[in-house]
Amino acid sequence: MKYSAPKGFQDILPPEISFWQRIEDSARAVFAKYGFHEIRLPIIESTDVFVRSIGEITDIVEKEMYTFRDKGDRSVTLRPEGTAGAVRCFVEHGLHNLPSPQKFYYAGPMFRYERPQKGRFRQFYQIGVEAFGVAQPTLDAEIIAMLNDFLNAIGLTNLNFELNSIGCDACRPVYKEALQLFLKDKITEFCPDCNRRYSTNILRILDCKVEKCVELRGGAPAVSGHLCEHCRIHFDELTALLEALDVPFSLNANLVRGLDYYTKTTFEVTSEHLGAQKAVAAGGRYDKLVKVFGGPDTPAIGFAVGVERLAALLQEASPAEQVAPKVFIATLGKQADTEGLRIAKALRNNGLCTEPGYGASLKSQLRRADRIGAEYALIIGENELSSGTAQWKNLKQGTQGEVALKEVQSFFTKS
């Protein structure tokens, strides 16, 4: 019987894993400089956590959740995203009682039962950040600037930052009415999903990808024209701050996002090199969500990056390379094996990546040294042991020589 990973799930192997590590290491380094602390959240939450936050009439909740009953007959769901769990955690631990802002990041797998395709998986990894307790646009600007810094740190610079405001409880209903009026006479020509959204979640019609719907909604009123004064000032200040911080962005009036918890600022980072699944990061404000979970009124904002899509962009820029050892130690005979391991241990303690030959024939050991790209081979046999020396070969330059066993450490740390 042959097994394979479930559809939409994948193994990440070396050398591609090096991109993942670069992405994770850079995220940690950049986010720490901005005062963000890591949190680890459960992969499973009570189903209600997602239904109440993401929204009942969204693709994620309606079609994509891995929901099941556990042995205690509770309905639980594999997290489709990280914000809902982060807010549940924030309220559960009373973190609103601590000084504001509270700034967190998390990294890990998310699960959505979507139709798998290039860049879209059923298990995918996000690195997300969530900041609580500041309503001012300074925090929005800082978070977006931090995302830009992080993307630059991993070597991605040619990305599009798209920005919008979807208003608040005061102005969004007015906008929805204007949109309803505009769509009223032609809604039957839209796709069945949009027809349903017309009465359940009308904003989602704006990001339907069906060609006919895109065409039909041309000329629809933009939410930016309907913002209340408060939201308008917030958005204007944000765009001025982003300009001051040299973060390039463009405005996209159709950026409404597929999750219901957003208020005011929404943003998305896309790449032209990824085909249909081009969003590498997305986020926005969710000023109402802490209250939904029973906490006090607490403004918040965050984003998440998709690790697979970032890794694909890095891979496209330059293929992954395996980290090669500095020294390969080829040994012949039991005593030489022991001496080889002893030297390898000492070299590693000195910070050098060292690979032993594991006692195969000398020829096959040296073949492996070449294959894994080792810089040096150190050869130790019975004769070398009795004379207290070893042979070295520089496999890159083709040079060779002899080194006293007790000098091996300084020889390789200096060369």
Nearer CB in complex with ligand HAM: 311/380: 311
Longest Cα–Cα distance of the chain, Å, equals 95
Residue 126 interacting with ligand HAM (CB under 6 A): yes
Among the listed ranges 76-84, 216-224, 394-402, 404-412, the one in contact with ligand HAM (CB under 6 A) is 76-84
Nearer CB in complex with ligand HAM: 109/221: 109
> Checking DSSP bridges between strand 263-270 and strand 300-306, what pairing results, if any?
unpaired
Nearer CB in complex with ligand HAM: 90/392: 90
Identify the residue among 154, 280, 312, 377 touching ligand HAM (CB under 6 A).
Answer: 280
Residue 83 interacting with ligand HAM (CB under 6 A): yes
Residue 61 interacting with ligand HAM (CB under 6 A): no
Nearer CB in complex with ligand HAM: 292/403: 292
- Three-class SS of residue 86? helix
Among the listed ranges 45-53, 75-83, 211-219, 358-366, the one in contact with ligand HAM (CB under 6 A) is 75-83
Identify the residue among 20, 27, 81, 260 touching ligand HAM (CB under 6 A).
Answer: 81
Residue 303 interacting with ligand HAM (CB under 6 A): yes
Nearer CB in complex with ligand HAM: 172/309: 309
Query: What's the min distance (Å) between Cβ of 306 and ligand HAM?
Result: 2
Of 229, 245, 274, 292, give the one whose Cα is nearest residue 53. Answer: 292
Nearer CB in complex with ligand HAM: 20/392: 20
> What whole-number distance in Å separates Cα of residue 271 and Cα of residue 293?
34
Of 413, 415, 375, 379, give the one whose Cα is nearest residue 397. Answer: 375
Among the listed ranges 126-134, 156-164, 374-382, 392-400, the one in contact with ligand HAM (CB under 6 A) is 126-134
Query: What's the min distance (Å) between Cβ of 199 and ligand HAM?
Result: 24
Nearer CB in complex with ligand HAM: 86/241: 86
Identify the residue among 306, 325, 340, 357 touching ligand HAM (CB under 6 A).
Answer: 306
Residue 282 interacting with ligand HAM (CB under 6 A): yes
Residue 141 interacting with ligand HAM (CB under 6 A): no
Q: Do 340 and 356 meet the contact criterion of CB atoms below 8 Å apart?
A: yes
Q: DSSP of 110-158, one letter per residue?
A: EE-----BTTB-SEEEEEEEEEES--SHHHHHHHHHHHHHHHHHTT---
Residue 308 interacting with ligand HAM (CB under 6 A): yes
- Three-class SS of residue 340? helix
Identify the residue among 52, 309, 326, 393 touching ligand HAM (CB under 6 A).
Answer: 309
> What whole-number distance in Å separates Cα of residue 291 and Cα of residue 285?
14
> What whole-number distance in Å separates Cα of residue 187 and Cα of residue 106?
41
Any residues with CB less than 8 A from the CB of 194 and at least 6 apart, and which?
187, 204, 205, 208, 210, 213
> What whole-number distance in Å separates Cα of residue 398 and Cα of residue 201?
68
Nearer CB in complex with ligand HAM: 9/182: 9
Residue 133 interacting with ligand HAM (CB under 6 A): no
Residue 124 interacting with ligand HAM (CB under 6 A): yes
Question: How far, CA to CA in Å, does 251 sit from each of 246, 281, 314?
Answer: 15, 16, 26
Residue 304 interacting with ligand HAM (CB under 6 A): yes
Rounded to the nearest 5 percent, the helix, strand and coil shares of the chain are: 45, 20, 35
Of 267, 368, 306, 305, give the one whose Cα is nearest residue 129. Answer: 305
Residue 140 interacting with ligand HAM (CB under 6 A): no
Of 131, 119, 48, 120, give the one whose Cα is nearest residue 83. Answer: 131
Contacts to ligand HAM by CB under 6 A: 81-83, 112, 114, 120-121, 124, 126, 128, 130, 279-284, 302-304, 306, 308-309
